[in-house]
Amino acid sequence: MRTKDLAKFINERERVRENKEAKKPWPWTKDPILSKYRFCNVHREDDKVTRWITHNWREPFEESQELWFAIVFARLFNLPRTLSEVGINDVMLWRPEKLRKRLRELREDGPIFNGAYIVSTNGKAMDKVDYLIQCVLGPLWAARKGLRPTKGITLSYYHEKLMQFDGLGSFMAAQVVADLKYVEPLRSASDWYTWAASGPGSRRGLNRVFDRPVDARWYEPEWLEQLTKLRAALLKNLPPWGEELHAQDLQNCLCEFDKYERVRLGEGRPKQLYP
């Protein structure tokens, strides 16, 4: 198991963030791959959009029973420009026609979606804004009483509940959970540190760590079991940061490790350069 290789990547990526935020002179790393290409932070909470959502929506409205709905909206668009112009109040009070009108106006002046997340109309021949308002957000709002997180539920259970709705596949539902786990009641979830949902990148990343064929298949329970073992081994090779690496952050790190290895091995390269 290549635990030390993964730990080395994670440690160096975190060092890049620390050097950047300390305003140290460029380059922030001697690693040629990390200095050339864009990689997500080790902790998702340090990502630019997550920080914006945290400071402007999640923390000020953490006691609202409709925060979950606002977070779904936030992650579907995932762009601070859009979220700041729309405003959280019209989202949590669900004023669909006002939101639809404002989103269309914003679209005339530039992108309203962050390209980091792929949001489609799932085969429906509709305008994307109309699709999200009518087919995704509308049904979620109608079912809101049963979708508000409640005391005692797990991250895994809430993830499954969200996935029952159109437009919220495993990836997007997991992004919503990753935000809501920092406020109650999900902050007290029993699987806060140990649950994550796999994605194509993290499955490939785990294969690389376990020296399996890179596209070898994982069954989700098996993947999570091995992720848990990896996390236990990995924590022995990581410094005592302010926040212990939880499973969702490790899942993300595996995805980024897969990107790193593709470059190192000449198998491909990430889409974005580091500016």
Q: What residues does each domain of the chain span?
A: 3-45+193-264, 58-185
Task: Write down the pLDDT at residue 67.
Answer: 98
Is pLDDT of 98 > 70?
yes
Q: Are 180 and 67 in contact (CB under 8 A)?
A: yes
Residue-level pLDDT at 242: 52
pTM of the predicted protein model: 0.95
pLDDT at residue number 244 = 83
State yes or no: pLDDT of 270 exceeds 60.
yes
Question: What is the C-alpha separation between 123 and 167, in angstroms, rounded?
Answer: 11
Residues 6+ apart with CB under 8 A from 42: 10, 13, 14, 17, 245, 249, 253
| Residue 117: predicted pLDDT | 81
pLDDT of residue 116: 78
- Please check whether residue 116 is in contact with residue 252, taking contact to mean a CB–CB distance below 8 angstroms: no
Q: Is pLDDT at 140 greater than 80 in this prediction?
A: yes
Residue 240, pLDDT score: 66
Can you tell me the distance from the alpha carbon of 72 to that of 153, in angstroms, rounded to the nearest whole number? 18
**Residue of 268, 251, 229 lying closest to 37 (CA atoms):** 268
pLDDT of residue 124: 85
